[in-house]
Structure 1
């Protein structure tokens, strides 16, 4: 049976995730803490199978807590969760070793599927990536990826590069295809891991 620990400073978020995870078969215990300091102390005393950590918008130092936890416990299964427009923070957490991410607006089926997949020892939702040697991005695709890593919208990237928004979307689709990803957060996470963006 699987044990889970949730870290977020909002009681409503912790309770909501607890209710969702209670529907995932195989979970035997779900605990939660409000602060990253409590998370590290609790995990040191009682390691769990899965840790969910809010990003820095919800938990001060949340991404740093994920990094430290993984540095000391490389096999820790950590999922970060955050705002839909917080792509750079989520990507940094993924680059630091988190197994996947969830967004605040994820649907109930998405949450349950992500948890079930992670518990089955498969990284989610970041798919297997092509090796860096096989990824050849054009200069424009790299510029679009860089803009994404800064949290800019397609419109803002277009204005910066003097491109129409539809053209930016076309470059983004090609970029996703080359990296084997499905959205901006996954692309940026891949970019951080492979050194394509810093």
Structure 2
């Protein structure tokens, strides 16, 4: 049974997320916070199983909130929420320790999967960041081309734009992307870039 803290500065969005989360199996309690500052003060009191944290908010913002919360409470489970994919903000939040992200208009099934993944991921925080997600802690070995593709992703470039830079087709870029996702144990671009930042593969 889980408690979820929904953090969003827009009341109607916050209430919609609260209702959506509250209807999921296994969720016993849903509480809300209107700002990052309020989330930081409420987390030690509520100690929620998962924090759904808006990426873009007034005040200290979602990324800084995630960073401060996870610095103070490394055991916290943070899942970012966004209206549309924000590769830069999401990558920085994930680099700070957030589990991943979910769009605010996700279906109940998508939301349930994201929350379940965030909860199950908790045990992986016991593994040092530089070896997380790789059996035996083995080092990641990316080819030069894969590093170039990852660098393009870190700058928010589309596959087509990366292909133009490297004089490669978009399909070839997608092939390199799939390979580096597998090597980095990443589900999407944001996670791949975040892992790249952690490992010093991109800067």
TM value normalised by structure 2: 0.83
Shift of 1:4: 1.5
**In 1, Cα distance between equivalents of 2:49 and 2:202:** 31
Tell whether the 8 Å contact from 1:57 to 1:82 is kept in structure 2 after alignment: no
The 5 Å alignment of 1:1-198 reads 1-56=1-56, 61-104=61-104, 106-120=106-120, 122=122, 128-129=133-134, 133-198=138-203
Decide which moves more: 101-110 or 149-158. 101-110
In structure 1, the gaps of 5 or more residues are none
Tell whether the 8 Å contact from 1:99 to 1:123 is kept in structure 2 after alignment: no
Counting helix residues as a fraction of each chain, which structure ranks higher?
Answer: 2
RMSD over aligned Cα atoms: 2.5
Tell whether the 8 Å contact from 1:24 to 1:115 is kept in structure 2 after alignment: no
**In 1, Cα distance between equivalents of 2:192 and 2:117:** 20
Count residues in correspondence: 196
Tell whether the 8 Å contact from 2:55 to 2:62 is kept in structure 1 after alignment: yes
Shift of 1:131: 6.7
Secondary structure of the 1:51 match is strand
Tell whether the 8 Å contact from 1:90 to 1:101 is kept in structure 2 after alignment: yes
